Amino acid sequence: MTIDCADPALVARFWCTALGYVEADPPEGWDTWESWLVAQGVPEEEWNDGASVSDPDGRLPSISFLKVPEPRTTKNRLHLDLQVSGGRAQPQELRDSRIRGEVERLVAAGATVMGEVEQNGSLDHFWMADPEGNDFCVV
């Protein structure tokens, strides 16, 4: 999965925090991304044209971030749901606490709350945006 953005390093850092991911390792045979970029002849002004993060346990998919010149103009058609509540089998108080705690953590990391969504009079999820406005939900 690739997310278009203006500042790949910024957005990648946010998603590392949000998901518990780490910066993806450089290609085999290279100690750092910088040394790989230099060896490939990539001009320094292009070093932040992309970034990639991965699950430190290697189980979940990696996510890439690609610099694009145009800003986002419409709502995302695809977004991530961070499922933290434990599901509807959990008591509503516990679900609320887990969701609100995660929202606070993500706001501190640079996210913005776009809306609080209720279902049947109880909190269901928060609609949020990452530092560049890409939509996601905390459920």
Q: Which tens digits make up the pLDDT trace of 22-58? A: 999 999 999 999 999 999 999 999 999 999 999 999 9
- Tokens 């679900």 sit on residue: 95
Q: Which tens digits make up the pLDDT trace of 103-120? A: 999 999 999 999 999 999
**Predicted local confidence at residue 49, as pLDDT:** 95
**Predicted local confidence at residue 75, as pLDDT:** 78
**Predicted local confidence at residue 72, as pLDDT:** 80
Complete edge-to-edge strand list for the sheet that includes strand 112-119: 80-82, 135-138, 122-129, 112-119
Q: Locate the domains of the chain by residue range.
A: 2-67, 80-138
**Predicted local confidence at residue 76, as pLDDT:** 77
Q: Which tens digits make up the pLDDT trace of 56-98? A: 999 999 999 999 988 888 877 789 999 999 998 999 999 999 9
**Predicted local confidence at residue 73, as pLDDT:** 80
pTM, rounded to two decimals: 0.89
Residue 127 CA: distances (Å) to CA of 44, 57, 87, 106, 109: 36, 28, 17, 12, 16
Residue 116 to residue 96: CA distance in whole angstroms: 11
**Predicted local confidence at residue 70, as pLDDT:** 87
